[in-house]
């Protein structure tokens, strides 16, 4: 019954490494999102996409990029990881034009940058 | 004033008690109100979803929206240890960006 899958649950990377976080949804949703979640700061939107090959910046896009080549897949890329990017990363998707953006989340990817 | 305010807790209550979780907000244009539950080391899952004002009930859970006071609540009846989690309120204007509260940590004591 898995609907939004984040392939890596736990990652440990070195400062300066390039990091790919993959997310796949099997619900045929148009919209996909990447958030990070930190204690005391809550959920913060990094990037989102309403269609294949399109992307929009969220509230904290600096240091991140995304790729959406197929409808079901949305990747988050950290070009050069830094210690302040240590966080829980959550992918989510939603069906467009339902009147509300009700999100289905993945289980999360906990990234530690040393 | 922050757009959505939520007490972070932790809130500890004995098993069987009624739990009340709350959020206040400042944007009167919000129309859709949601509650997500997040277990430790997991992603949030949608618990309740309401449109505009009023109450919605689903089993032991009741969501309440008071738009005049810009205040939403989630009530949990007959609370169980399995209800221990972080509860996030969320709201949006139509299908625009969702604004989340920071979450309230809830502990149900056996």
Confidence (pLDDT) at B80? 97
Q: Is A87:A112 a contact under the CB 8 Å cutoff?
A: no
Q: Is B88 in Cβ contact with A104 (below 8 Å)?
A: no
Res. A96: pLDDT tops 70: no
Which residues lie below 8 Å from residue A89, measured CB to CB, with a gap of 6+? A6, A21, A34, A35, A36, A37, A76, A108, A109, A110, A111
Residue A54 — φ and ψ, nearest 5°?
Answer: -115, 150
- Mean of pLDDT values over A70-88: 97
Instruction: Share the mean pLDDT of chain B.
Output: 93
Q: What is the mean pLDDT of residues B8-27?
A: 96
Q: Residue A91 has which token pair? A: 């992918």
Q: Say if B40 is an interface residue toward chain A (CB within 8 Å).
A: no
Q: Which of B44, B45, B56 is the best mutation test for A, with the most CBs of A within 10 A? A: B44
Give the closest-approach CA distance of B26 to chain A in angstroms. 18
- Tokens 């004995």 correspond to B14
Contacts of A98 in chain B (CB under 8 A): 95
How far apart are alpha carbons A29 and A51 in whole angstroms?
A: 9
Residue A22, number of CB atoms within 10 A of its CB: 16
pLDDT of the residue at B66:
94
Query: Which of A24, A43, A60, A90 to probe the B interface (max B CBs under 10 A)?
Result: A43
- According to the model, what pLDDT value does residue B96 have? 73
Distance CA B110, CA B29 (A): 41
When pLDDT is averaged across residues A16-34 and rounded to a whole number, the result is 95
What value does the mean pLDDT take over residues A57-61? 95
């Amino acid at each position: 019954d898995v609907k939004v899958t984040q392939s890596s649950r736990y990652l440990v990377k070195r400062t300066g490494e390039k990091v790919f976080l993959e997310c796949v949804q099997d619900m045929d949703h148009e919209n996909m999102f990447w958030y990070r979640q930190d204690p005391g700061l809550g959920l913060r939107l990094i990037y989102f996409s309403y269609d294949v090959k399109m992307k929009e910046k969220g509230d904290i896009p600096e240091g991140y990029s995304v790729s959406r080549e197929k409808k079901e897949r949305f990747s988050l890329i950290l070009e050069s990881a830094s210690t302040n990017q240590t966080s829980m990363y959550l992918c989510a998707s939603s069906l467009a034009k339902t009147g509300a953006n009700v999100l289905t989340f993945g289980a999360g990817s906990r990234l530690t940058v040393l | 004033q922050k757009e959505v305010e939520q007490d972070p807790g932790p809130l500890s209550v004995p098993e069987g008690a009624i739990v009340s979780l709350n959020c206040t907000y400042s944007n009167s244009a919000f129309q859709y109100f949601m509650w997500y539950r997040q277990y430790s080391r997991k992603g949030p899952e949608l618990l309740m979803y309401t449109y505009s004002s009023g109450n919605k009930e689903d089993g032991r859970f009741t969501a309440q929206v008071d738009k005049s006071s810009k205040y939403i609540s989630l009530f949990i009846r007959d609370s169980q240890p399995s209800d221990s989690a972080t509860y996030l309120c969320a709201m949006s204007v139509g299908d625009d960006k969702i604004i989340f509260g920071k979450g309230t940590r809830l502990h149900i004591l056996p």
